Structure 1
């Protein structure tokens, strides 16, 4: 067998092993708090699952697990994978900029690091170093913003019902709906730039690895 092919296969095996390892790590981090607090009157599973951080990390674990077991190359899967990478990048950046000193139910330092810092970096590196062979257009990458938009709507509808909001910038009780709307527009524009950037670095990674004109 050609040496280049052997090297490629070895590299693919290493990527799959790392994906599996980080998927297990992420799953443990996600389950640790709800399992530890099961039955506690002060803990709400519904609230826990209503954090964008938790939802994006659940998707990340799914992407890593499936990538480790099957590594699909279909357009639909690569779009899902790219979207999940974006959501993890959003999670990492928004936490660093807006939420580093806010209680978001992740008091354990190692869980906070795993879900807000390490796994976002892992997903981005995986997207760049093991890139999609499918070319994703800028318009398709902007379509990834549907989920954050739906999440924002869900949070604003659920908030008054349960008298709880996952993040201060989504809470209209102190800032009012006008300020919230301004913040939402700014965040949406920032996320659009992040989506284009995630797609762009994925293309660069594909060009570097596959030598294709993308």
Structure 2
């Protein structure tokens, strides 16, 4: 194994460990400080786009590190899959740091979990994507498929919110904002996903990439 390949292996291992640590830490804090039944708290934990997307990142890094030649590895090693996850996790970081950070001031382990999930892991994955993801297989037509995950999440959130009156993010809170404002916010978020996807595909199609 050459030095580049060795660093690649260590990098994705570190990414996987940091990802799982952050998710487990946030889950532990959620359970320790819950005021609701366990089942409800677990459902709410997995209702956050941040958690689901960081879970995707952790699984991706883990599967790549294990390097088993199966359908799961073939899926997560595709340039299109990694680029789509990169779009999702960058949106997580951008929305938190530009919109949500000012709404709360977590302390202690809550702050550590927040920084890992919203700042550190998005940066780690962005660097990984920039250095190691091959560009030649990326195509503009793949963009539509990338939107299925965030659109499905938005639909689930609105349906779940209508049934339980629980909305994980203030900009999709129908009870407070009403459907018209939430629809506008959802369109703006969808546009952000599309713009980032266009940018990342354009970058990758011109970039010389180190492939391991």
| Whole-angstrom CA distance in 2 between matches of 1:121 and 1:66 | 19
Task: Give the equivalent residue in structure 2 for 1:113.
Answer: 115
Task: Give the equivalent residue in structure 2 for 1:20.
Answer: 13
Q: How does 1:65-76 map to 2 (within 5 A)?
A: 65-70=62-67, 74=74
Whether 1:186 aligns to 2:188 is yes
Q: How does 1:41-120 map to 2 (within 5 A)?
A: 41-42=34-35, 44-70=41-67, 74=74, 77-78=77-78, 79-103=80-104, 108-120=110-122
Do 2:96 and 2:118's aligned partners in 1 also have CA atoms closer than 8 Å? yes
Q: How far off its partner does 1:143 sit? A: 2.1
Do 1:19 and 1:67's aligned partners in 2 also have CA atoms closer than 8 Å? yes
TM-score (norm 2): 0.84
Q: What is the total number of aligned residue pairs between the two structures? A: 202
Do 1:22 and 1:64's aligned partners in 2 also have CA atoms closer than 8 Å? yes
Change (3 A) 1:11 1:150: same
Change (3 A) 1:203 1:13: farther
- Which stretch has the larger CA shift, 147-156 or 9-18? 9-18
| Whole-angstrom CA distance in 1 between matches of 2:105 and 2:173 | 13
Runs of 5+ consecutive residues of structure 2 not aligned to the other structure: none
Task: Give the equivalent residue in structure 2 for 1:158.
Answer: 160
| Whole-angstrom CA distance in 2 between matches of 1:154 and 1:105 | 27
Runs of 5+ consecutive residues of structure 1 not aligned to the other structure: 1-5
Residue deviations 1:146-192 (CA, integer Å, cap 9, x gap)? 10000000000001222210101111111111111111112111110
